[in-house]
Structure 1
Amino acid sequence: MKFAFYPRLIFLLFQCSNGSDFVRQSCWEASKSDPKLSYGFCVACLESIPKSQPTSIEELVDMTIQITESNTTNIVSIISKLLQNQTFTQHEKACLKDCFHLYSDALSELQDALNAFKSKDLDTANIKVSAVLDACVTCEDQFKDKKGEACPLTNDNNIYFQLNAISLAFIQMCH
């Protein structure tokens, strides 16, 4: 019985290191193509997904777009809760409402990007992901219009930006 266990364990360890090596190599290549893309974030993000053993760039694109969709849904929820907070100024609430609309629109665009990618329409997928990338920048910039106001979504915007940058880099690697 012990003999049967060890080969499975060795195979499992080999599988995990291969998947991890593939993710790390892919993130390295992606980060070389975009100086704004964090290699460490890319690896941490993809290795944190349980049971994910991507073996192709196509699988990584699919994963990262889905992760970005999930993250976007979370941001929309955060903004909804922030809009209920009575301590924000009118300007801050207006900015949050705009951010809410930007991220809500991004959800359908990300789904379109994923569908285009699955249909092998890399150009459309690239255009769609590029378009939604601006949501976090626009959201952040709106708060800068009024001196002294800080965007309560800065960390979320940064994560969103990185996720989209990863997807874009992986889409480019598919060309």
Structure 2
Amino acid sequence: MTTPIFTFTFLPFFLLFSSTLTPITANNLISETCKKCAQKDPNLSYKFCVTSLQAAPNSQDADLRQLGLISMNLVQHNVTNTRRFIKHLLKNEELDKFVRVYLDDCLDLYTDAIPSIKQAVKDYKMKDNRHANIAVSSVAGAATTCEDGFEERPGLVSPLTKRNHEMFQLCVLALLIINMVSSPFY
């Protein structure tokens, strides 16, 4: 039995070519998702997106839908930690009275955000993306409202600027992924 010359000639080229193709991995999915999300919304930093998702447990094996859930879990974690941080700041007896007033407002906002993000996760798991979107949007609004409060008083510096900005970016990421998985092209 003779083997066609085609097999010996083209098989090595095929193997060489196929080995150079990039397999679709979770890191590629994270990178591509973050690239698309950062292009769609200037409020989201590509680097922040990639760093956040890659640091999350189970993100390396996640598909896009799972990345949406992971992003909401990151929001939930951030809400809880920021609330705890605000409580810690409020224990300072020497805190400026105006800072204290705005921190109290932020504590209320972040406290209200906890059930909102939990509901968003439940809705998303039930594939009720519209309601998940609404709930995540309200959490994003909490971060923005908190930060805006400090800007009402000239010269007052928010001790939560970094945390509020990160919270907002995490919410934007979650919203963009929710919209991506809601798309008929997903």
Matched with 1:130 is: 137
When the two chains are superposed, the root-mean-square deviation of aligned CA atoms in Å is: 1.6
Q: Is residue 34–residue 50 contact of structure 2 (8 Å, CA) maintained in 1?
A: yes
1:98 and 2:105 are equivalent in the alignment? yes
Matched with 1:118 is: 125
Distance 2:95 2:65 in 1: 43
Distance 1:54 1:40 in 2: 20
Correspondence 1:38-49 to 2 at 5 A: 38-49=45-56
Among 64, 68, 75, the residue aligned to 1:68? 75
Correspondence 1:16-27 to 2 at 5 A: 18-27=25-34
Among 149, 153, 160, the residue aligned to 2:160? 153
Residue 52 (structure 1) shift? 2.7
Distance 1:58 1:151 in 2: 35
Aligned with 1:53: secondary structure? helix
Q: Is residue 90–residue 100 contact of structure 2 (8 Å, CA) maintained in 1?
A: yes
Distance 1:52 1:62 in 2: 10
Query: CA deviation digits over 1:67-103, x for unaligned, max 9?
Result: 1101110001100010011222222111101100101
- How many pairs are equivalent? 161
Aligned with 2:60: secondary structure? coil
Specify the structure having the higher radius of gyration (Cα).
Answer: 2
Residue 137 (structure 1) shift? 1.0
1:80 and 2:87 are equivalent in the alignment? yes
Q: Is residue 72–residue 160 contact of structure 1 (8 Å, CA) maintained in 2?
A: yes
Aligned-pair identity in percent equals 34
Distance 2:161 2:64 in 1: 29
Distance 1:116 1:54 in 2: 22
Distance 1:57 1:19 in 2: 9
Distance 1:160 1:128 in 2: 14
Distance 2:59 2:176 in 1: 19
Structure 1: any 5+ residue segments left out of the alignment?
1-13
